[in-house]
Structure 1
Amino acid sequence: MNIPKHQVQELVAGCINNNRSAQEALYKLFYADMLRVCHSYLPDKELAKEAFNNGFLKVFQSIKNFDSEKGELGGWIRKIMVFTSIDLCRKELKFVSLTVVGQEHDDDFFIPAKVLENLYYEDILAKIRTLPFATQTVFNLYEIDGFSHKEIAEQLNISEGTSRWHLAEAKRKLRTLLNTPNPGNGSSERSDKAI
């Protein structure tokens, strides 16, 4: 999201001064995108909303630490939302730690272009949500948010090997799911939501 620098500075300054209209403007500006981020980690809508609200509370409490020279406001808020969602994941759900010794996985699965052409955001999200919870979380952190296996291991309190296993497992399962036709979700019905 490209927000003019002067608008970012005004919003941040207003939020630092506890200006309710600035806080409301910031909240509305990032509402849809950040709720989507939380929802990608927490399939339960109520948990996603809880993470979103907790995340925005953290944003308002630490907005004085935001430095526009080090990055974009949206990226800074997104990182807070991701970490808040992960914290809630850890609180609500247990991860199964798997020890995988000497097992190599091919991280580069091929998905034919014709399959991808017929997929939409909701379809992809629905397929990701069919993965076991720990596997889908590792997939989101690695593929969507760009975390390294070391960072994922630290955040989820698992080993790097377990993180790699979950990513390979997610790709293997998604490959199968993406190559399986989904009856009733024809592309002609939903052409307005294409990726």
Structure 2
Amino acid sequence: MLADNPKISALLNGCRQNDRNSQKELYYLLRGFAMKICYRYTNAQEESEEIMNEGFVKLFKNVHQFDENRQEDTLLSLKGWFKRILVNTCIDHYRKMNASVSGHVLNTESESIPDHGETGIDILSYKEIVEAIRLLSPGYRAVFNLFVIEGLSHEEIAKVLGISVGASKSNLSKARDNLRKLLLNKTQYNVYVSPQ
């Protein structure tokens, strides 16, 4: 057992008993982790915090369902379980915000981007890439995150978001095109890329 497991187990037991101090300590322990996940699915800090806090409410409400004895590393196991709660909360938020667009492809213009070989994108920071993802429309961002980050299939995405498989594929393609444009624009202004 890892050194942090007794502390994490004690916090979880406190949370199961609705101990506010344990909940507060667990909140501060997982806040950064949770915010990074929610931030990928939204385009506003307040929206990310709202979803994150809703996720914590669900965690505290359902903490009795978490089995900390399933893996050797309790914190890692807890983060995996909590990540699923957060992603589902983000999906629920997306559904609420986009109830009127469910079932069809979102309409935004998407142009083809010529391939210029090496672009300098590899020098962009993680933060810059996440910022570019956040600039995508909510529909494109949701499909992109679920497919690329979470590893869901188009069939699973269609079921989760209430859209067709074709809409999922189309939204992913357009998300990639738009993201490519955003990142290429970013590298053009930040670095000189010699033409190949």
TM tier, smaller: 0.7 to 0.9
Change (3 A) 1:166 1:74: same
The CA deviation string for residues 60-88 of structure 1, in whole angstroms up to 9 with x for no partner, is 00000012316710011111111112211
Aligned to 1:80: 85
Aligned to 2:24: 24
Change (3 A) 1:3 1:62: farther
CA distance in 2: counterparts of 1:157 and 1:128, whole angstroms = 22
Aligned to 2:104: 98
Asked if structure 1 preserves the Cα contact closer than 8 Å seen for 2:102 and 2:161, the reply is no
Aligned to 1:50: 50
What TM-score, normalized to structure 2? 0.77
**After TM superposition, which residue ranges in structure 1, 4 or more long, deviate above 6 angstroms?**
none
Q: Which has the higher contact order (CA 8 A, sep 6+)?
A: 2
Aligned to 2:135: 130
The answer to which of 130-139 and 112-121 deviates more is 112-121
Aligned to 2:112: none
Aligned to 1:118: 123
Query: How far 1:90 moved relative to its partner?
Result: 1.4
CA distance in 1: counterparts of 2:152 and 2:142, whole angstroms = 11
| SS of equivalent to 1:67 | coil
Identify unmatched segments of 5+ residues in structure 2.
Answer: 106-114, 192-196
Asked if structure 1 preserves the Cα contact closer than 8 Å seen for 2:43 and 2:135, the reply is no
Asked if structure 1 preserves the Cα contact closer than 8 Å seen for 2:133 and 2:179, the reply is yes
Query: How far 1:34 moved relative to its partner?
Result: 0.5
Identify unmatched segments of 5+ residues in structure 1.
Answer: 100-109, 187-195
CA distance in 2: counterparts of 1:82 and 1:127, whole angstroms = 19
Aligned to 2:109: none
Aligned to 1:9: 9
Aligned to 2:111: none
Identity, in percent, stands at 34
Aligned to 1:193: none
Match of 1:156 among 136, 153, 161: 161
Query: How far 1:48 moved relative to its partner?
Result: 1.6
What TM-score, normalized to structure 1? 0.78
Query: How far 1:11 moved relative to its partner?
Result: 1.8
CA distance in 2: counterparts of 1:121 and 1:22, whole angstroms = 32
Aligned residues: 176
CA distance in 2: counterparts of 1:114 and 1:4, whole angstroms = 43
CA RMSD for the aligned pairs? 2.7
Asked if structure 2 preserves the Cα contact closer than 8 Å seen for 1:40 and 1:140, the reply is yes
Asked if structure 2 preserves the Cα contact closer than 8 Å seen for 1:66 and 1:73, the reply is yes
Asked if structure 1 preserves the Cα contact closer than 8 Å seen for 2:147 and 2:154, the reply is yes
Aligned to 2:171: 166
